[in-house]
Amino acid sequence: MRTPCGAVLLVLAACAAGCGGPARVDLEPPSVQLFGTGQKATVHALPREKSGRPVPDSVCRWSSSDEKVASVVARHNEATVTSVGPGGATLTCTIGDLTARVPVAVRTVARVAGVPAAVELLLADESRPLQVPLQVFDDQGAPVSGRLVFTRCDDEEVCRGDARGQLWATGAGKTGATVEVEGVKARVAVSVKDVRTSYTKPEILKKGYMEDLERQVRKRQEAEAAGKH
């Protein structure tokens, strides 16, 4: 029995529209959460037929629902999401009439609390840094841990800061210091008292003094760690 040409054309058209094409798109990971601005995450898309067979030749068109929260740069079926500001956005992969979405949440540091108004450092024979106490909260008011804490002293002949939230005494006197976590800052007044017993107290600190202090601390920490074993 011969099939009319019109029926053949209809079958071919239907197959072109649906045979072997993607029926869904799997996205991995299913959600993205970024902390701080400028952070990145990669999302992979895998188009699949109704049977589950991958269709790698089908390519996503990626978009972000809010570029002020998260921007997206795509290459084939891989998208790089970059945090821009706090809030929520949706990353969308579109292939023809198919869409797949990934929620993106961006949290940023909004407040630093608990920093004392003033601290006193001791310039001793064996230098020890002061860890500045503080609490960090995000834009939703939730406590945040694991953030880099930078300290800077206005007068480095009195104290020095570092990238671990510490202050080091370098000379007797008074100055101010800034404590910063992801652009959020707090101020603290610093006074340094010279309690060294050595009669060779230098009037001006030599170049490399901070490196010597940090080496002393590392040696002491290594010795303490070795003593525990």
> How many whole angstroms separate alpha carbon 107 and alpha carbon 35?
5
Structure tokens at 113: 């609390």
Q: How would you class 42 by CB atoms within 10 Å of its CB: exposed for 0-12, middle for 13-18, buried for 19 or more?
A: exposed
What global pTM score does this model have? 0.63
Structure tokens at 17: 């529209």
Please state whether the peptide bond connecting residue 29 to the residue before it is cis, i.e. omega within 30 degrees of 0: yes
Q: What confidence score (pLDDT) does residue 91 get?
A: 97
pLDDT in tens, 120-174: 999 998 889 999 999 999 999 999 988 899 999 999 999 999 999 999 999 999 9
Q: Is the pLDDT of residue 207 over 60?
A: no
Q: What confidence score (pLDDT) does residue 201 get?
A: 59
Please, what are the domains in the chain?
A: 22-107 (2.60.40.1080), 110-219 (2.60.40.1080)
57, β-bridge pairs: none
Strands 98-107 and 32-35: parallel
Dihedral, 23, 29, 31, 35 alpha carbons, nearest 10: -150
Structure tokens at 100: 């797949």
Q: Which amino acid is at 119?
A: V
> How many whole angstroms separate alpha carbon 203 and alpha carbon 38?
44
Q: What order do you get walking across the sheet with 61-64 strand by strand?
A: 32-35, 98-107, 87-95, 61-64
Q: Which of 103-112, 125-134, 202-211 has the lowest mean pLDDT?
A: 202-211
User: Which of 36, 180, 172 lies closest to 107, judged by CA?
Assistant: 36
Angle CA 33–36–42, to nearest 5: 45
